[in-house]
Amino acid sequence: MRSFRINFSMISKRTKAVTKQMTSYSTHLIQLIIGEEIEVWIHEPKYMTACYYMFTSKEEMNGKVVENTWDGWNQLFKETIDILSMTLDALVDYNVSIIDFLETNWKSVNDCNLFQSEDKNDVDEHAAYLLNNLKVNNKIHSYLDIKNVNFDGRIPKNLNELRIENSHWVGYERLLEIDCKNVIIEKNRISNEQWNLFIKKWIAVETHSNLEYLQLDYREIEEFRALVLHDIPHEVVDEGVKRTFKM
């Protein structure tokens, strides 16, 4: 893929006009990355090209700079965001303002990737604020280290994919609220008995009517079969490293 990039903070009228023209076509994919700097990518899949904007306060970068990168990027455009990637402990003082701006101007994003740079930082409040105020249509990948087991962030239903890498805050009751097509949860605190009950409910179509794929980081496959699937009819259909169960 060919790409070009422009490092700047306050955009010119010409740049804004070009960007609006590019984003007026549905074939272009818009990606917003919020970290120490704020980046806007405009991808054109058909011709394998991308336009990359970085808003920075670092004087050593090539381009215009200002102290407040937030005041630069929010003037760029108000088009659909396909992918939002946000590091919640990077611009802590601006998180709420950024989320409010996104909610006001975009209403929703297609895919959302949530990160934090250091596990020790508490991002629970801003993570919940984002999930409760911004609609995500297709996919959520969370790599956050949520501290509170009673985390009150809303998990959207009917997502195509939900991945929670550190899901120790996800208990059985919270599991029942998750109804997405593809679910990947790691490091959860759900007991063997609860997994057994959940799978039975799923088979009986009492819960998770949208669920088609579930991936866990269980220790040993044979242990899972013995402790969770012991009274559930199943067949191992793939003897390779990646196991799939047919219920």
Domain of 225, CATH number, reads 3.80.10
Where in 143-212 does DSSP place strands (E)?
A: 161-164, 182-185
Q: Are residues 202 and 84 in the same domain?
A: yes
Helix (H) or strand (E) holding 245: strand 245-246
Q: Which residue do the tokens 């899972």 mark?
A: 224
Confidence tier at 151 by pLDDT (50, 70, 90): very high
Confidence tier at 11 by pLDDT (50, 70, 90): very low
Q: Are residues 130 and 242 in the same domain?
A: yes
Q: Are residues 166 and 210 in the same domain?
A: yes
Q: Are residues 182 and 63 in the same domain?
A: no
Q: Is the confidence at residue 5, as pLDDT, over 80?
A: no
User: What is the tally of structural domains in the chain?
Assistant: 2
Q: Are residues 134 and 224 in the same domain?
A: yes
Confidence tier at 157 by pLDDT (50, 70, 90): confident
Q: Are residues 58 and 133 in the same domain?
A: no
**Could you list the residue range(s) of the whole structural domain that residue 167 is in?**
30-39+77-246
Of 48, 76, 104, which marks where a domain is finished? 76
> Which letter does DSSP use for residue 195 in this model?
H
Instruction: Give me the chain's average pLDDT, please.
Output: 75
Q: State the average pLDDT over residues 80-104.
A: 85
Q: Are residues 82 and 145 in the same domain?
A: yes
Q: Is the confidence at residue 108, as pLDDT, over 70?
A: yes
Cα(138)–Cα(113) distance, rounded to whole angstroms? 11
pLDDT digits (tens, 9 = 90+) for 176-222: 988 899 999 988 889 999 999 999 998 888 888 888 888 887 667 78
Q: What is the CA radius of gyration of the chain?
A: 21
Q: Torsion-angle region of residue 190: left (phi > 0), alpha (psi -120 to 50) or beta?
A: beta
